[in-house]
């Protein structure tokens, strides 16, 4: 007989709540995103993407100011957010990136005590990465040498060009700025005080606009000090893990397309999913996805710098897995109407968005060196 006074299993309740959230996200993806991306050779236009963002806002996923329990980056450890982003990334990597940017900007504004006056996006990197090992020293509060200050100013100085890949419906931009002494601050810029120059030939994420951002006025707000550094660390780690989760979703989409094709295409008297070479391509992708996403979930509850390390290790494997799905199609995989080549381009773009794997590994290695010496 069950004990009427037994304490409920909190883990079971949390799992049930998470399942309800993901079921709602599943419905959202099927209803609002997937009908708009049925033709991979015809990416969503600006109006369609705006409709997706508006629907996400109505659901409480991205830009709303009131916590809903569904919102990205509302959960304390980020695990639910990563699961949501993976599902959104399977429907559309570009839509997932846009919603992440809206949500992370909302969370950064909350942590900084800012009050955006228009839809806001955030950028946590410069036009040439994040500043290599000098960025790790800045994040750790370690002494900076003259070369560090020069490098950080070149990447993060107020006059330095930034590159952003986002939807085009934003009105304010939150970005970190390093001054001539090496001090870090966050600034909130109205779009009217920026020169925004679109670059229409981005590699992937076709639905988004890649643009160069150059300040041409003054920021509306500046926040400096330890809070600015802590928030930048969070922004870097969270964005790195977001890109991994979104790429996991995109690769899962590519492999689903490849498996469906391989189950129909016949060669040598059997469907090609019976051929060892094809089976190995698809099995390798499944293994990579399992290992990578588990690593991302584990990193989400640790120090933000761990997100950079996971991203550095995961992205080369994810780009290879995306290419495996394309190879299962043979020559047809390079045609845009199969969807596989778009997955490859989207994942390739995510691989370098916010810092290449090589640079992220340098930042992580320097962070580990500094903290090992401190210990």
Same domain flag for 244 and 366: yes
Q: What is the DSSP string of 287-328?
A: HHHHHHHHHHHHHHTS-HHHHHHHHHHHHHHHHHHHHHHHHH
Whether 272 is covered by a domain: the verdict is yes
Same domain flag for 66 and 100: yes
The Cα–Cα gap between 125 and 218 comes to: 19
Q: What is the CATH number of the domain that holds 61?
A: 1.10.540
Same domain flag for 81 and 143: no
Identify the domain boundary among 225, 241, 276. Answer: 225
The pLDDT, as a whole number, for residue 353 is: 87
- Segments forming the whole domain that contains residue 204: 121-225
2 by Cβ neighbours in 10 Å (0-12 / 13-18 / 19+) ranks as: exposed
Whether 3 is covered by a domain: the verdict is no
Same domain flag for 81 and 142: no
Same domain flag for 234 and 355: yes
The Cα–Cα gap between 368 and 248 comes to: 27
Report the number of distinct structural domains present in the chain.
3
The pLDDT, as a whole number, for residue 308 is: 92
Q: What is the CATH number of the domain that holds 163?
A: 2.40.110
Same domain flag for 134 and 247: no
Each residue's pLDDT tens digit, 20-59: 889 999 999 999 999 999 998 999 999 999 999 999 999 9
Say if residues 235 and 108 touch (Cβ distance below 8 Å): yes
Whether 33 is covered by a domain: the verdict is yes
Same domain flag for 114 and 143: no
The pLDDT, as a whole number, for residue 67 is: 66
Identify the domain boundary among 174, 191, 225. Answer: 225
Same domain flag for 173 and 108: no
Whether 4 is covered by a domain: the verdict is no
Identify the domain boundary among 69, 93, 119. Answer: 119
Q: Choose among 106, 103, 112, 109: nearest CA to 226.
A: 112
- Distant-in-sequence, close-in-space partners of 93: CB < 8 Å, separation ≥ 6: 204, 205, 246, 247, 249, 250, 343, 346, 347, 350
The pLDDT, as a whole number, for residue 1 is: 45
* Residue 32 DSSP class: I
Q: What is the CATH number of the domain that holds 304?
A: 1.20.140.10
The Cα–Cα gap between 304 and 293 comes to: 16
Angle at 330 between CA 326 and CA 336, to 5 degrees: 55
The pLDDT, as a whole number, for residue 144 is: 93
Whether 1 is covered by a domain: the verdict is no
Angle at 269 between CA 266 and CA 271, to 5 degrees: 35
Judged by DSSP in three states, 80 sits in helix
- Distant-in-sequence, close-in-space partners of 73: CB < 8 Å, separation ≥ 6: 81, 103, 104, 106, 107, 238
Whether 183 is covered by a domain: the verdict is yes
Same domain flag for 46 and 87: yes
Residues of the chain with pLDDT under 70: 1-14, 64-67, 126-128, 201, 373-375
Same domain flag for 273 and 200: no
At 78, give phi and psi (nearest 5°).
80, -5
The Cα–Cα gap between 357 and 367 comes to: 15
Angle at 313 between CA 213 and CA 284, to 5 degrees: 120
The pLDDT, as a whole number, for residue 66 is: 63
Whether 5 is covered by a domain: the verdict is no
Same domain flag for 111 and 185: no
User: How is residue 279 written in tokens?
Assistant: 């089976």
Whether 234 is covered by a domain: the verdict is yes
Same domain flag for 182 and 295: no
At 166, give phi and psi (nearest 5°).
-160, 175
Each residue's pLDDT tens digit, 361-371: 999 999 999 88
Paired with 211 in beta bridges are 164, 198
User: How is residue 318 written in tokens?
Assistant: 């994810």
């Amino acid at each position: 007989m069950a004990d009427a006074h037994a304490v409920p299993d909190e883990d079971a309740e949390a799992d049930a709540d998470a399942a309800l959230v993901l079921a709602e996200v599943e419905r959202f993806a099927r209803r609002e995103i997937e009908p708009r991306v049925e033709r991979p050779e015809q990416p969503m236009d600006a109006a369609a993407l705006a409709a997706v963002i508006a629907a996400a806002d109505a659901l409480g996923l991205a830009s709303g100011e009131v916590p809903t329990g569904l919102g990205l980056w509302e959960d304390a450890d980020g695990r639910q957010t990563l699961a949501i982003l993976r599902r959104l990334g399977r429907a559309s990597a570009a839509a997932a990136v846009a919603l992440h940017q809206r949500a992370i900007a909302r969370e950064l504004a909350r942590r900084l005590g800012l009050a955006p006056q228009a839809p806001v996006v955030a950028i946590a990197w410069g036009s040439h990465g994040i500043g290599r090992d000098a960025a790790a020293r800045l994040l750790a509060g370690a002494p900076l040498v003259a070369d560090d200050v020069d490098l950080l100013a070149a990447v993060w100085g107020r006059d330095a060009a930034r590159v952003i890949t986002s939807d085009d419906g934003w009105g304010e931009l939150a970005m970190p700025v390093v001054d001539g002494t090496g001090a870090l601050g966050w600034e909130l810029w109205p779009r009217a005080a920026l020169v925004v120059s679109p670059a229409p030939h981005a590699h992937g994420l076709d639905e988004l606009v890649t643009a160069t951002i150059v300040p041409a006025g003054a920021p509306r707000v500046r926040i400096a000090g330890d809070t600015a550094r802590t928030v930048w660390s969070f922004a870097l780690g969270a964005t790195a893990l977001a890109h991994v989760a979104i790429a996991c979703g995109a690769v899962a989409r590519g492999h689903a397309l490849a498996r469906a094709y391989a189950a129909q295409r016949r060669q040598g008297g059997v469907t090609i999913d019976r051929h060892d070479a094809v089976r190995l391509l698809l099995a390798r992708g499944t293994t990579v996805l399992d290992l990578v996403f588990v690593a991302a979930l584990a990193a989400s509850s640790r120090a933000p710098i761990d997100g950079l390390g996971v991203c550095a290790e995961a992205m080369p494997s994810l780009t290879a897995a995306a290419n495996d799905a394309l190879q299962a199609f043979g020559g047809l995989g390079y045609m845009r109407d199969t969807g596989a080549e778009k997955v490859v381009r989207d994942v390739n773009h995510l691989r370098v968005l916010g810092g290449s794997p090589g640079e992220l590994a340098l930042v992580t290695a320097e962070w580990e060196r500094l903290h090992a010496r401190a210990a």
